[in-house]
Amino acid sequence: MNQETIRLGIGFATGRKAFRKVMSAYIYSWNEFIKKEQPSAKIELFLFVAYDLSYSNAQSTDFTNLSQEIVDSFEDIIFIDEKRAKHTAMDIIHDDNLQEEDMKLIFSSGYAGKRNAIVYAALKNQMDYLLFLDDDEYPVAVTNSKESCLWSGQYVIPMHLKSIVHADITNGYHCGYISPIPQISFDNTLSQTDFRQFIEAISNDVITWESIRTIMKNGGVTYADTKILTDLKPQDVPQMHSCKFITGSNLCLNLTKPKRLFPFYNPPGARGEDTFLSTLLTDRSVVRVPCYTFHDGFSAYRHLLDGVLPIRLNSITAESSAIITRFYQACIGWVRYKPLLLYITDACGYDKKILEIQHILELVLPKICACFQDDNFYNLLPEFRKYSKNAAKHYQKFIETQQSWAKLMDHIESSCR
């Protein structure tokens, strides 16, 4: 990018009413940085919000009614609801090379479609970079010191800007309540071996049993690594099983070369759009930047945004029905996208691994249900079988989405000439 002013988009795919408060925290942090660290920097901020009214029975004003102070921090604010997304799609298909089916693939329902709509809007508005943030992650890091919490503010936006110029993608770290897995007291009902087999069977390759066991010992909390916080050194994301794994937030995309971008995709009714994007990044420069966001997975620590910093964080135990429900929902998400992930990364061994996972679920699910006293976990097996059966179909849609996206990037480039 050879221009004096950087145009940075901030993207939220959101459904939570707390979005405005979370977004404000990042902007206050950014304004503080600019005033103290780089007062002469020429950086323009733009806000892109794709919101879902059904997620928490919200109204549009829960997202659009921003304070004047926040509005003044942005050059422009673009809100994308379902109606606007449809209008955008209809406008695009006037291009002879793009059809209605292309638009349905790219701007599908679900979070992948919302993220794609944000990327497209950012490109149309000539952003150089686009930083995705989540509505349940805050710009602070927590470390553990002698059983008490130490907190530090994080300059999330500046850290990405520093590295994204020389990368295709930058991705930060996460702390807090990242894992939905509660603390469990293993016994004859559910042994540690049983639970390890279960987690390794349905989760993705990033989740290792050692990391899960450490998090469980910490009461379900992931603490920031002090070495990362103090060294401040970006690191290349390594390739693992044909993937460069990224997360969907604290994630920045370089938009200066649209044809190097890939679309987000998830199977119908599933998540994992960040994981499936990870499978396409073999020849892309992906950099992990040294900044954390605190994931408030249970919406229990919103007071952090008011400056109330707890000395200790509560443990996530299986005694709470809300925690069990969240773990169940996470497991449903995992079994819905695991088949397609296997189909993409290990097509030759797909059938064998699917049978192995089914066998593990058949053996362990009765014990999982007994441990959590919740028979809903039995649903995991039919869901896994359903998505395994449709993995080839979902893979075809995955490929077609990329092909439609390539047409859209051609459209972007031609319209900018």
CATH number, domain with residue 387 = 3.90.550.10
- Percentage of the residues of the chain whose pLDDT score is greater than 90: 72
Which residue is it, tokens 């920031």?
224
Alpha helices in 139-298 (DSSP H): 156-164, 192-202, 209-217, 226-231, 273-278
- Per the CB < 8 A criterion, the answer to whether 44 and 7 are in contact is yes
Q: Is residue 256 in some structural domain?
A: yes
Give residue 58's pLDDT: 82
d(CA 140, CA 294): 6
Mean pLDDT (whole number) for 70-75: 94
pLDDT band at 205 (very low <50, low <70, confident <90, very high): low
Span 82-93, mean pLDDT? 76
pLDDT of residue 416: 65
- Please count the structural domains in the chain: 1
pTM value? 0.94
Flag whether pLDDT at 221 surpasses 70: yes
Percentage with pLDDT > 70 across the chain: 97
**Domain with 398 in it:** 6-415
Answer whether residue 202 is part of any domain. yes
- Taking the C-alpha atoms of 387, 390, 392 and 397 in order, what is their torsion angle to the nearest 10 degrees? -90
Q: What is the pLDDT of residue 40?
A: 66
Residue 346 lies in a domain: yes
Q: Residue 10 forms beta bridges with which residues? A: 47, 131
- Report the pLDDT averaged over residues 64-82: 92
- pLDDT for residue 2: 44
**144 with 265: CB under 8 angstroms?**
no
Residue whose C-alpha is closest to residue 355's, from 367, 366, 368, 342: 342
Q: Are strands 6-14 and 129-132 parallel, antiparallel or unpaired?
A: parallel
pLDDT of residue 388: 98
**Candidate from 49-63, 212-226, 378-392 with smallest mean pLDDT:** 49-63
Arithmetic mean of pLDDT over the chain: 92
Nearest to 306 by CA among 18, 10, 12: 18
306 inside domain: yes
User: Does residue 319 register a pLDDT over 60?
Assistant: yes
Residue 385, pLDDT > 60, answer yes
CA-to-CA separations, 253 to 32, 61, 163, 283, 288, in angstroms, rounded: 23, 28, 11, 15, 12
Q: Would you state the pLDDT for residue 160?
A: 98
Residues 157, 33 contacting (CB under 8 angstroms): yes
Reply yes or no on whether the pLDDT at 342 is more than 80.
Answer: yes
Higher per-residue pLDDT: 376 or 208: 376
In a domain, 191, yes or no: yes
Instruction: Kindly state whether residue 278 falls inside one of the protein's structural domains.
Output: yes
Give the pLDDT band (50/70/90) at residue 66.
very high
- Is 150 part of any domain? yes
The verdict on residue 1 lying in a domain is: no
Residue 355: both structure tokens together: 């049978």
pLDDT tens, 257-289?
999 999 999 999 898 999 999 999 999 999 999
